[in-house]
Amino acid sequence: DLQASASAISASFKYFLAGFAIAQLIWGPLSDKLGRKPVLLLGLSLFALGCLGMVWVETPAQLLILRLVQAIGVCSAAVTWQALVIDRYRDGKANRVFATIMPLVALSPALAPLLGAWLLNHFSWRAIFVVLLAITLLLLIPTALLREKKKATETGVAKDNLNFWQI
| 10-52 per-position pLDDT tens digit | 899 999 999 999 999 999 999 999 999 999 999 999 999 999 9
What pTM did the predictor assign?
Answer: 0.85
* Average pLDDT, integer, range 105-118: 92
Domains for the chain: give ranges and CATH numbers: 6-147 (1.20.1250.20)
CA distances from 131 to 54, 79, 135, 152 (A): 11, 22, 6, 32
- pLDDT of 8 reads 83
What Rg value do the Cα atoms of the chain yield, rounded? Answer: 18
